[in-house]
């Protein structure tokens, strides 16, 4: 097609500042004409009902498209989007391969957060990877190696505060799990769902919303057969700060934590490292079945 | 990178997501496109050099990523079949109301370049010049794509006179 055909004048559209073209009609429909030209086109359309109808139809299309798509602008941003150059650097850095290779990614399907990875039965890659890195946290005496910071520290504190509460450990109980999921998803701005840990002896008690350092954080609480409690803390973190899978301690609370992309996860319990690992393995295995 | 530049990029994200949703319809795939665009933007930020505005630069990146994806997907039959076929059996007969479902369906059946053009103009409300710069084509091309897209929508959604041949959509008004 001749790309300049839109500039061809429409017969009978003369007068004023030159003949009326097809392009003028589009520009009229889109509000992209200067005022004098706009007035000319309006005059031109006055006794041309067919052209007037076309322009009206185009405007209706514009309106329908906007009504359909404008709500996207006010949707919460998916957490997987890299929101800074730092986040980008993390994605491209050496950690990327490690994180992907070892275990975790946030599923892009957006249905829920899930842990993904090549984890086999028993002492899989997780255990083999974690063991060397956490040797210092096993009480070998290296100062600072197991000191909790950032969200891992907050997770430990939250665990210490809420898990001993016999009567009100959570805001929304597992009996209303769907409501809990809906609520946390809305407040977190992304799909958040508790893992099912019954297979390893932990039942969901419920969850709550907590303030993190920059925004809302979700905490899920589970309890074991002997009443021992375990919490999973899910937060949005600046990627790049923590990247490895680590253990730390805060008083009696042991924490297994990691950051994947923009998410921080912390699994806290009074249980020992081996028990935390066992639970973590179950979570990964659960993803395999999903 | 300066903080305000980062903020300018982040400020583009909502409209990039809107544009992507119109381009590929499926929300997850649309955000894949946004993510791809952002990663490209962060890695190429040095090439921006503050020439022109950030929004045009970001939309230009998305345009390239989208077209690359379209080209890569062309070998898949489901993406190319039917692109040029008017959907006669489901043609709407009433003009006043356009259903979103129909709109999405017809939009996705437009050739990708026409879909881009219509969305940039109608939804992002860009000037024809801006749209031309983003897609790297002359303004005349923007106008002809726009005209074709609009006539196709009219024919399929609004009961307008069917555009039997694309060239007809640019015919001179009698």
Please indicate if any CB of chain A lies within 8 Å of the CB of B132. Answer: no
Residues 6 or more apart whose CB falls under 8 angstroms from that of A182 comprise: none
- Mean pLDDT confidence for A202-219: 89
Chain mean position to CA B145: 10
**pLDDT surpassing 80 at residue A67:** yes
**Predicted confidence band of residue A48 (pLDDT cuts 50, 70, 90):** very high
Nearest to B173 among A51, A81, A87 (CB): A51
Give the C-alpha distances (Å, rounded to integers) separating A246 from A268, A271, A282: 12, 15, 17
* pLDDT tens sequence across B90-113: 334 444 467 778 888 899 999 999
**pLDDT surpassing 70 at residue B144:** yes
Residue, of B43 and A145, whose pLDDT is higher: B43
Closest CA to B41 of B63, B57, B30, B29: B57
Question: Which of A6-20, A125-139, A141-155, A226-240 is modeled with the greatest confidence?
Answer: A226-240
Are A134 and A148 contacting, i.e. CB atoms less than 8 angstroms apart? no
**Predicted confidence band of residue A53 (pLDDT cuts 50, 70, 90):** very high
- What order of strands is seen across the sheet that includes strand A263-269? A172-173, A203-211, A216-223, A229-236, A263-269, A253-260, A246-250
Please indicate if any CB of chain A lies within 8 Å of the CB of B108. Answer: no
Residue contacts between A and B (CB atoms, under 8 Å): 144
Using a CB-CB cut-off of 8 Å, the residues of chain A touching B32 are 108
Say what percent of chain B tops pLDDT 70. Answer: 71
**pLDDT surpassing 60 at residue A3:** no
- Residue A22 and residue B27: Cβ atoms within 8 Å? no
Using a CB-CB cut-off of 8 Å, the residues of chain A touching B15 are 73
**pLDDT surpassing 60 at residue A278:** yes
d(CA B167, CA A229): 71
Chain mean position to CA A260: 11
How high is the ipTM of this complex? 0.81
What is the pLDDT, as a whole number, of residue B66?
A: 94
Please indicate if any CB of chain B lies within 8 Å of the CB of A62. Answer: yes
Residues 6 or more apart whose CB falls under 8 angstroms from that of A90 comprise: A96, A239, A240, A243, A261
Closest Cα in chain B, distance from residue A93 (Å): 12
Are B59 and B66 contacting, i.e. CB atoms less than 8 angstroms apart? no
Closest CA to A269 of A284, A286, A244, A250: A250
What is the pLDDT, as a whole number, of residue B110?
A: 94
- Mean pLDDT confidence for B55-63: 93
CB burial of A194-216 (b: ≥16 within 10 Å; e: otherwise) equals bbbbeebbbebbbbbbbebeeeb
What is the pLDDT, as a whole number, of residue B72?
A: 79
What is the pLDDT, as a whole number, of residue B91?
A: 39
**Which residues 117-176 of A have a C-beta within 8 angstroms of B?**
none
**Predicted confidence band of residue B19 (pLDDT cuts 50, 70, 90):** very high
**Predicted confidence band of residue B59 (pLDDT cuts 50, 70, 90):** very high
For residue A179, what are its two tokens? 């409501």
β partners of residue A208: A219
**pLDDT surpassing 80 at residue A84:** no
Average pLDDT value for chain A = 72
Please indicate if any CB of chain A lies within 8 Å of the CB of B8. Answer: no
- DSSP assignment of B136-174, as one string? TS-HHHHHHHHHHHHHHHHHHHS-PPP-SSGGGGGPPP-
- Residue A1 and residue B144: Cβ atoms within 8 Å? yes
Place of tokens 């954080």: A217
Say which range, A89-103, A147-161, B18-32, B119-133, has the weakest mean pLDDT. A89-103
Residue, of B100 and B65, whose pLDDT is higher: B65
Closest Cα in chain A, distance from residue B61 (Å): 15
**pLDDT surpassing 50 at residue A137:** no
**Predicted confidence band of residue A283 (pLDDT cuts 50, 70, 90):** low
Closest Cα in chain A, distance from residue B143 (Å): 7
**Which residues 142-171 of B have a C-beta within 8 angstroms of A?**
143-144, 146-147, 150, 153-154, 157-158, 160, 166-167, 170
**pLDDT surpassing 70 at residue B143:** yes
What is the pLDDT, as a whole number, of residue A83?
A: 74
What is the pLDDT, as a whole number, of residue A58?
A: 95
Q: What is the 3-state secondary structure (H, E, C) of B2-16?
A: CHHHHHHHHHHHHHH
Closest Cα in chain B, distance from residue A230 (Å): 32
**pLDDT surpassing 80 at residue A101:** no
d(CA A288, CA B76): 29
- Mean pLDDT confidence for B58-85: 70
Closest Cα in chain A, distance from residue B124 (Å): 9
Residue, of A249 and A44, whose pLDDT is higher: A44
**pLDDT surpassing 60 at residue B120:** yes
What is the pLDDT, as a whole number, of residue B47?
A: 67
Closest Cα in chain B, distance from residue A168 (Å): 38
- Mean pLDDT confidence for A228-241: 79
- Mean pLDDT confidence for A17-26: 88
Nearest to B18 among A11, A73, A87 (CB): A73
pTM: 0.52
């Amino acid at each position: 097609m001749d790309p300049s055909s839109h500039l061809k004048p429409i017969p009978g559209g003369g007068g004023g500042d030159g003949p009326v073209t097809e392009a003028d009609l589009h520009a009229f429909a889109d509000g992209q004409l200067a005022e004098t030209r706009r007035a000319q086109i309006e005059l031109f359309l006055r006794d041309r009902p067919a052209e007037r109808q076309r322009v009206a139809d185009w405007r209706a299309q514009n309106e329908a498209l906007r009504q359909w798509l404008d709500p996207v602008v006010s949707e919460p941003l998916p957490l997987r989007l890299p929101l800074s150059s730092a986040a980008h650097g993390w994605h491209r850095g050496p950690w990327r391969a490690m994180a992907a290779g070892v275990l975790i990614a946030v599923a892009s399907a957006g249905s829920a957060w899930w842990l993904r990875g090549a984890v086999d039965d028993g002492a899989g890659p997780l255990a083999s990877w974690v063991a060397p890195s956490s040797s210092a946290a096993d009480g070998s005496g290296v100062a600072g190696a197991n000191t909790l910071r950032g969200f891992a520290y907050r997770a430990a504190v939250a665990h210490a505060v809420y898990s001993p509460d016999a009567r009100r450990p959570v805001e929304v109980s597992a009996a209303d799990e769907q409501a809990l999921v809906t609520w946390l998803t809305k407040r977190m701005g992304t799909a958040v769902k508790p893992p099912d840990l019954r297979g390893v002896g932990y039942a969901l008690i419920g969850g709550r919303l907590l303030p993190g350092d920059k925004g809302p954080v979700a905490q899920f609480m589970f309890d074991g057969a002997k009443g021992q409690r375990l919490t999973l803390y899910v937060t949005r973190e600046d990627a790049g700060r923590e990247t490895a899978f680590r253990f730390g301690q805060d008083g009696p609370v042991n924490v297994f934590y990691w950051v994947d992309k923009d998410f921080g996860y912390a699994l806290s319990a009074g249980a020992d490292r081996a028990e935390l690992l066992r639970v973590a393995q179950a979570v990964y295995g659960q993803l395999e079945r999903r | 990178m300066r903080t305000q530049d980062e903020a300018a990029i982040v400020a583009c994200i909502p409209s990039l997501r809107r544009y992507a949703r119109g381009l590929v319809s499926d929300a997850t795939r649309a955000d894949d496109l946004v993510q791809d665009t952002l990663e490209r933007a962060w890695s190429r930020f040095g090439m921006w050099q503050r020439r022109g505005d950030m929004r045009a630069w970001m939309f230009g990146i998305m345009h390239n990523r989208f077209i690359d994806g379209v080209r890569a997907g062309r070998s898949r039959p489901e993406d190319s079949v039917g692109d040029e076929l008017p959907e006669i059996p489901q043609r709407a007969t009433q003009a006043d109301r356009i259903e979103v479902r129909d709109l999405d369906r017809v939009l996705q059946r437009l050739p990708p370049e026409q879909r881009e053009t219509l969305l940039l103009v109608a939804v992002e409300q860009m000037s024809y010049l801006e749209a031309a710069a983003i897609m790297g084509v002359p303004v005349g091309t923007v106008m002809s794509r726009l005209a074709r897209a609009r006539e196709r929508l009219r024919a399929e959604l609004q009961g307008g006179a069917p555009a039997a041949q694309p060239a007809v959509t640019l015919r001179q008004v009698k």
